[in-house]
Structure 1
Amino acid sequence: MVLDIHATPSMRANPGTTTPGKVYYVQGGVARNIAECMSKLGAKPYMISALGFDMAGDLLLKQWKSAGLTTEGILKHKDIETPVVCNIFDVNGEVAAGVASVEALEKYLTPDWILHFQSILLSAPVLMVDANLSHPSLIAACRMAADMECPVWFEPVSVTKSRRISSIAEYVTFASPNEDELIAMANALSGSDVFHPLKENHKKNISVISLFQMLKPAIWVLLEKGIRVVLVTLGSNGVFLCKKGGPSHFKMPTEKTNRCGFDGQLYRTIMEKCPPSRYSGFSELDRSSLLFAVHFPTLPASVVRLTGAGDCLVGGTLTSICVGLDIMQSVSVGIAVAKAAVEVEANVPSTFSLSAIADDVKSVYSGAKVLFHQSML
């Protein structure tokens, strides 16, 4: 849980002086954003975090309570400096510079604190961990989930912190890196810097198929190391969904699902708009050498702020998995939710419209295309 300070100039900024603009305090933090998004979609996420008794902590805790979510998992202590991130944006809404003060997450979110909540995982459909956690805490959380037979979603957070996947890959069911995080994770898991980030000017001038071909070796490293589903987020280029074998996609066991999203309407609406039998003609053999990859397009949007899009994509996807939709349907929901996020100033919209999301989900789902379904040998 992080307090984000967003500074947006009203004109091009010059170094060495102040620039007119707007400064906003925004509730942030990757895991917190994802959890808030899920709550706005009707889920009840259980948050494990740490806050101080300071202005930032008070703001974050007040918002969390107002959403009707439990604070039992949030450690509160006078010695904690609540994590704060200050982002300065350019006139196009992209982050131009930022400073993060998040040391408290590693210091106070210890394995001992996390293990307090082992019983919660008995009924949890999925455990989402973000890479702000230290190596020991990530390992403790993932082993706890494995003991409870609970799938794990790993959110990389940043290029630097994404390398923490090296200690937990065997436990991870889902991972959601962007292109640069994917490269960093593949290098960390392969033990050498064999993969290189794509240059920005190169990415703008290549097709989606060419982009996939360039990223495919790095994606395969993650799958070979045990991650079952890799979602590569591509910004305006959409999402790659990749897994081994055929298109039989991960779906939550019925006893773990909770059809609470939008008072139960999310599951029924998406099942009606996007039936799950679209890829029934493919072989369902889960062959270890076979790579299956699908590209999901993005949707046109009136962009205000890009910072919450990735977190809301994960939040929408996770909520959908938790209500019992399959991964193809769930990613489509995630992209529709991300579209709503970029059209507001906050990291997470104050409300979502189920009818608007459902129409957007249908567009994304129908526009998804299989890119690759071949052996990697």
Structure 2
Amino acid sequence: MRNMQPHHPLVVKGVKLEHEDAEVVIIGGMVLDIHATPSIAAKPGTTTPGKVYYVQGGVARNVAECMSKLGAKPYMISALGFDMAGNLLLEKWKSTGLSIEVGILKDKVIDTPVVCNIFDVNGEVAAGVASVQAIEKYLTPDWILHFKSTLLSAPVLMVDANLSPPSLEASCKLAADAECPVWFEPVSVTKSRRISSVAEYVTFASPNEVELIAMANALSGSEESHPLKEYHKENNQSPASSFQILKPAICVLLEKGIKVVLVTLGSNGVFLCSKGGPNCIKIPVEKTRQHGFGGELYRTVMQRFPPSSYSFSEHGRSSRLFALHLPSVPASVVRLTGAGDCLVGGTLTSISAGLDIIQSVSVGIAVAKAAVEAEANVPSAFSLATIAGKVLLVYVDTAIFMHMSNCFICCMFKTWRVNNLFMELNYLGWKLCKKYSQNFIMCTLAFNF
């Protein structure tokens, strides 16, 4: 493939960002999504009446757009063609004010990535076809290396697994050299396995349940010999039961060096898992960005839900699994395709503004709630007051799961009035007794609303 330099006239670039203005760097796909939704149950072998929409998509692009609507200015590195799909995506990109400085490669030889999804009457994907080869072909290590200096001031690098393994590795190594945390978005079950070559560089990973199992098998080398069991969600399965099933896979990812694993559970919320407690990752103050809507979001969350409003005390926590279940917020579902991307977008915006990981994921859940109620992958706008209100709903129904060698604790916390805490201990397979003091984890969570 011929060399395409950043000064190439077909590269979409605006005014160069100053060092202090740089934000989250996002490398991955910009995709035109074609959504086909039947008005009645579809039957094979014939057409079905319904509606067809063209929607701007791609995991990386969706995350970037979501962040922009939350006041951030993500730096996007991607590739588009001169075809209809590429022109539509670029026009939309510019109209949302996201062209301040982007590393979007645009060339007539590129076939813009397109994905066609067919939904069922409930809004879930029933089938789909993806033509996204251009992302692997044109987002090469050489192209990515041109933006090395941009990572120096970035609070986080997000990569989606549409990138080829060599490009993923090049991106993650650049971030490591710049001491920039890496967020890995798995994209799909098949592509999630690409984590195997970059796990040592990854700080955050955000798989769903099935992607989690695939990633764990790829990392442990047990995909063929002794694979972890496939995950089959049962109706009305409790978060505690799900955690017990998924825990071995979560531990594999953490043992391989990933610092924080955010397992998305659909309507059941997320598991936030790490070793050493929830505050093991902190973005340096000099790399945080608190301006515009994002600054207001930071100040609102810090005022209403400061880190001092909850605390955890755990013996030997640096070597223990810490897992927090944060519930989803009830929503009137229109479409589910953008929820996960907006969860990541809301979380990344909050992290880069200086919020801690619990605050950030809570904001991400609130943002995802707005996404499932919209026709597009990303809502047209977000309300600060609404987000703050939904963050409260997440906080008051949070559960802590912590696992030790031979005991398991589940602490469910609900706050119903100021300075009043109710804690319910559930026994999940093991009897927990204070007399086994060496295995008892003391944990406290206090909300000051």
- Length-normalised TM-score, structure 1: 0.96
Partner of 1:61: 90
Q: Which has the higher helix share?
A: 1
Structure 2 CA distance, aligned partners of 1:17 and 1:261? 50
1:1-377 equivalences in 2 (<5 Å): 1-70=30-99, 72-193=102-223, 194-200=227-233, 203-260=234-291, 262=293, 264-283=295-314, 286-288=317-319, 290-375=320-405
Count of aligned pairs between the two proteins:
374
User: Where does structure 1 differ by over 6 angstroms across 4 or more consecutive aligned residues?
Assistant: none
Structure 2: gaps spanning 5 or more residues: 1-29, 408-449
Cα 1:137–1:321 change in 2 (3 A) is same
Structure 2 CA distance, aligned partners of 1:212 and 1:185? 16
- SS of equivalent residue, structure 1 residue 277: helix
Deviation at 1:263, TM superposition (A): 5.3
Deviation at 1:216, TM superposition (A): 0.4
Contact 2:36 2:51 in 1 (8 A): yes
Tell which structure's C-alpha radius of gyration is larger.
Answer: 2
More off after superposition, 73-82 vs 204-213: 204-213
Structure 1 CA distance, aligned partners of 2:37 and 2:215? 31
Q: CA RMSD in A?
A: 1.4
Structure 2 CA distance, aligned partners of 1:69 and 1:375? 48
Deviation at 1:310, TM superposition (A): 0.3
Deviation at 1:362, TM superposition (A): 1.2
Contact 1:6 1:25 in 2 (8 A): yes
- Length-normalised TM-score, structure 2: 0.81
Partner of 2:19: none
Describe the superposition over 1:22-80 as per-residue Cα deviations: whole angstroms up to 9, x where unpaired. Answer: 00000000000000000000000000000000110001111111122235300001100
Deviation at 1:205, TM superposition (A): 3.8
- SS of equivalent residue, structure 2 residue 246: helix
Amino acid at match of 1:196: K
Contact 1:291 1:376 in 2 (8 A): no
Structure 1 CA distance, aligned partners of 2:57 and 2:357? 26
Deviation at 1:282, TM superposition (A): 1.1
Amino acid at match of 1:262: F
Structure 2 CA distance, aligned partners of 1:234 and 1:312? 14
Amino acid at match of 1:198: Y
Amino acid at match of 2:105: L
Partner of 2:421: none
Contact 2:294 2:350 in 1 (8 A): no
Cα 1:214–1:14 change in 2 (3 A) is same
- SS of equivalent residue, structure 2 residue 75: coil
Structure 2 CA distance, aligned partners of 1:99 and 1:2? 12
- SS of equivalent residue, structure 1 residue 248: coil
Deviation at 1:344, TM superposition (A): 0.6
Structure 1 CA distance, aligned partners of 2:339 and 2:207? 13
